[in-house]
Structure 1
């Protein structure tokens, strides 16, 4: 049986994670307890998770033409990701996300994601064949609205499963979506009937799933949370994989919540879902 495929439209970046016992005072320095450097960004995280779950992912993203871009793309290939639709932007530095993680899961991000390493509408249109050929199209709404809209439209017109992740800033995109995932702050209320068939809302005490004629709330697992970074990305990937596998909304909801729980138990957003 051929594995399903997915096109992920989103961010690729170098993730640098530093753990600290406490933040140094202004004008002073402090030691990091540990350091991780890895392939990251929401798009890459979701693509890694999909590959671990048996879905063949293609990544539509932007990398600089620097050596860091070379290193990250090499890692993506080892992770089983098709990176032929990743744009190498001349003269740009590959995106960087620095996470400073304190005990108890408190984090601070310092990001360098300037416009050259974000997707433009023309970048997405050049990847049309990749997007239209995939069984599912995952669109991160943190990317510029024109690019996100173009990707969702291509997926919808090709009859693919279109999954939106993040805050809906332009409601016209809802007409092209099958699934919307957001947190309480991003959701802005239920959007069923305006395109999506399923909405997943991350709440403080669990994940709420709503569809026509039904809903379910899956409580969060009673486990230590080390770092919430990447939990949403694992959630979206597992939800997509379950739906592509023909699972019911309730089954997909449980799988997505389990994947998120497995990811927040370690530092950094890189998933490890091979046992989920």
Structure 2
């Protein structure tokens, strides 16, 4: 069985500075580097590095980093035969600023990601018969995300949605098609209309979001799993299902750059589910992968391989 990731593939242009700039401010930076990124590609690379067969479905441009982005996915072990090279547009680019505390600001220019459509969903659909899970994000057009979720639902494939970038206009139909949703606190706040900044507000948000996610569950072939995971950064993760709720504190690490930490979380979580782990253990795996990703700069360069991941879990968790 394999995991499919349907989403964005970007080139990340990263500037580091002592702090994040204020509106209208020119700030002297420390350093600049470029790495492969995009929430979809990050999640695909992270899962492949953890040892699960992974297919990436998406688009790059014929110019501006396209071949380099595909080669980077392949080097990580990701299957790329369903990454379409679009001759009409440049590849997606993310402009990222990271401060000394590891916090970041990101501007994404979609490029080829913005052209993802039903043709790409058709390519994805051919992979579903042997897939265990489909991971989705929101850096590609919503109609394509919705169509992919429907296709996976119809074939009994678990749908995991990372609702990022944050937005308040996600169709409720999409939420009802999702088995697992993994917003961070900003994204959760956008979805429910109030600030989510800790365990208590996460509990309130979960009440509302699980209601939306559980509508129409009789349409599912694999309906039993409905789970909301609210990532609270350095505080931890709040997990809610219709039957249970729990809070998992974050692993203590020295954060350098939080870029792709959420993507690493999704990868660790999906890997654990693919390997038959319990929901609680899958959340632990997600939190561990996310914590490790904050300890190195850059998006994909920070994603741990299985050796590093297992070693970290052995040191931190008695029954990993």
Structure 1 position 69, deviation (Å): 0.4
**Do the aligned partners of residues 28 and 241 (structure 1) sit closer, same or farther apart at CA in structure 2, a change above 3 Å counting?**
closer
**Do the aligned partners of residues 18 and 145 (structure 1) sit closer, same or farther apart at CA in structure 2, a change above 3 Å counting?**
same
- For 1:272, the equivalent position in structure 2 comes to 304
- For 1:211, the equivalent position in structure 2 comes to 241
- SS of the aligned residue for 2:127 comes to helix
- For 1:147, the equivalent position in structure 2 comes to 144
**Do the aligned partners of residues 158 and 32 (structure 1) sit closer, same or farther apart at CA in structure 2, a change above 3 Å counting?**
same
Structure 2 runs not aligned, ≥5 long? 193-204, 218-224, 310-320
Q: Deviations over 1:103-126 (max 9, x none)?
A: 112323233224764422332224
Does 2:182 correspond to 1:181? yes
Structure 1 position 38, deviation (Å): 1.9
**Do the aligned partners of residues 261 and 31 (structure 1) sit closer, same or farther apart at CA in structure 2, a change above 3 Å counting?**
closer
Structure 1 runs not aligned, ≥5 long? none
The answer as to whether partners of 2:12 and 2:38 remain within 8 angstroms in 1 is yes
How do 1:116-135 and structure 2 match up within 5 A?
A: 117-135=114-132
- For 1:172, the equivalent position in structure 2 comes to 173
Q: Paired residue for 2:227, among 198, 205, 208?
A: 198
Does 2:36 correspond to 1:53? no
- After superposing the two structures, state which structure 1 stretch, 141-150 or 40-49, moved more: 141-150
**Do the aligned partners of residues 251 and 31 (structure 1) sit closer, same or farther apart at CA in structure 2, a change above 3 Å counting?**
closer
Structure 1 position 217, deviation (Å): 0.7
Query: TM-score w.r.t. structure 2 length?
Result: 0.78
User: In structure 2, what is the Cα distance between the partners aligned to 1:22 and 1:175?
Assistant: 39
Q: Deviations over 1:157-202 (max 9, x none)?
A: 1111111111571111233221111123323333333346111111
The answer as to whether partners of 1:179 and 1:198 remain within 8 angstroms in 2 is yes
Q: Which has the higher helix share?
A: 2
The answer as to whether partners of 2:93 and 2:111 remain within 8 angstroms in 1 is no
User: In structure 1, what is the Cα distance between the partners aligned to 2:76 and 2:132?
Assistant: 19
User: In structure 1, what is the Cα distance between the partners aligned to 2:21 and 2:245?
Assistant: 46
Q: Deviations over 1:204-228 (max 9, x none)?
A: 5210111232122111122222221
- For 2:269, the equivalent position in structure 1 comes to 239
Q: Paired residue for 1:161, among 158, 163, 168?
A: 158
- For 2:257, the equivalent position in structure 1 comes to 227
The answer as to whether partners of 2:15 and 2:29 remain within 8 angstroms in 1 is no
- For 2:110, the equivalent position in structure 1 comes to 113
The answer as to whether partners of 1:207 and 1:257 remain within 8 angstroms in 2 is yes
